[in-house]
A and B are shown apart, each in its own frame.
Chain A
Amino acid sequence: DGGITQSPKYLFRKEGQNVTLSCEQNLNHDAMYWYRQDPGQGLRLIYYSQIVNDFQKGDIAEGYSVSREKKESFPLTVTSAQKNPTAFYLCASSMNHGLGGANVLTFGAGSRLTVL
């Protein structure tokens, strides 16, 4: 079955440590996204990528980094520079990044990061 796989599902980290969240999709989607969700808030865009070896900052990119070396993979690194990293992280993909119906997002199950 096609879909998006995120790992790990739960992650605990000490302050000052970097952590990398994995996101893999086998939907043959061109675009991939990382969102962050905090309690009582909507999803906020961290980074997105429309094509391999290219990515753009979203609305809250500070303290995060990404890479897109393969179409299927879009890992997110939460660095020690991120001031408040405890959150629910969601990876998504879509056929393209334009306006219109083709921009429907498919989400992974999410990774819940807690900084101790």
Chain B
Amino acid sequence: RKEVEQDPGPFNVPEGATVAFNCTYSNSASQSFFWYRQDCRKEPKLLMSVYSSGNEDGRFTAQLNRASQYISLLIRDSKLSDSATYLCVVPRNTGKLIFGQGTTLQVKP
């Protein structure tokens, strides 16, 4: 099993839809995880951090399920501009960051 696994997609959804991605992980006792957004042929940029208590920022909600070892990202009222690849990032116990391969989202008009 990979340390960090994501469904690569693509997830094709209409504008206004709600979409959720999961990311499963192993070997991490970290208190915080991360979701990054990467546009095509660009660098990743931090979308949000994920803590035990979860995190919400506007239309985006991130949750951590430590017992089942996954983090989730929920996007409500999808916009065309949300089309991108979403990378989940898991800190190893050594402090290094492990990136998932990413989940691609395509929002259609």
Q: Considering the chains assembled together, what is the distance between the CA atoms of A71 and B36 in angstroms? A: 25
Knowing A90-B43, A99-B31, A100-B32, say if A105 contacts B97 (CB, 8 Å). yes
Q: Would you call A2 an interface residue if the criterion is a C-beta within 8 Å of the partner chain's C-beta atoms?
A: no
Knowing A42-B87, A42-B100, A100-B31, say if A107 contacts B43 (CB, 8 Å). yes
In chain B, positions 29-82 with a C-beta closer than 8 Å to chain A are 30-32, 34, 41-46, 49
Partner of A104, one of B4, B30, B31, B34: B34
Q: Considering the chains assembled together, what is the distance between the CA atoms of A91 and B87 in angstroms? A: 16
Partner of B46, one of A88, A105, A108, A112: A105
On chain B, the number of residues with a Cβ less than 8 Å from chain A's Cβ atoms is 24
Q: Is the CB of B43 within 8 A of A108?
A: yes
Chain B proximity mask over A47-83: 1 for CB below 8 Å, otherwise 0? 0100000000010000000000000000000000000
Partner of A98, one of B44, B45, B95, B98: B95
Q: Chain B residues with Cβ under 8 A from A110's Cβ? A: 42-43
Q: Considering the chains assembled together, what is the distance between the CA atoms of A105 and B91 in angstroms? A: 12
Q: Chain B residues with Cβ under 8 A from A58's Cβ? A: 96
B-side interface residues toward A, CB under 8 Å?
4, 8, 30-32, 34, 41-46, 49, 87, 91, 93, 95-102
Q: Considering the chains assembled together, what is the distance between the CA atoms of A101 and B95 in angstroms? A: 11
On chain A, the number of residues with a Cβ less than 8 Å from chain B's Cβ atoms is 25
Residue of B nearest to A33 (CB): B97
Q: Chain B residues with Cβ under 8 A from A35's Cβ? A: 99
Please give the distance in Å from A8's CB to the nearest CB on chain B: 15
A-side interface residues toward B, CB under 8 Å?
35, 40-45, 48, 58, 88, 90, 97-101, 103-110, 112
Q: Considering the chains assembled together, what is the distance between the CA atoms of A26 and B95 in angstroms? A: 23
Q: Is the CB of B96 within 8 A of A40?
A: no
Between A101, A103, A109, A112, the greatest number of chain B beta carbons within 10 A of the residue's beta carbon is seen for A103
Q: Is the CB of A97 within 8 A of B95?
A: yes
Q: List 26 A-B contacts (CB under 8 A).
A: A40-B101, A41-B101, A42-B4, A42-B87, A42-B98, A43-B44, A43-B99, A44-B99, A88-B41, A90-B43, A90-B44, A99-B30, A99-B91, A100-B31, A100-B32, A103-B91, A103-B97, A104-B46, A104-B49, A105-B44, A105-B46, A107-B43, A107-B44, A108-B43, A109-B43, A112-B41
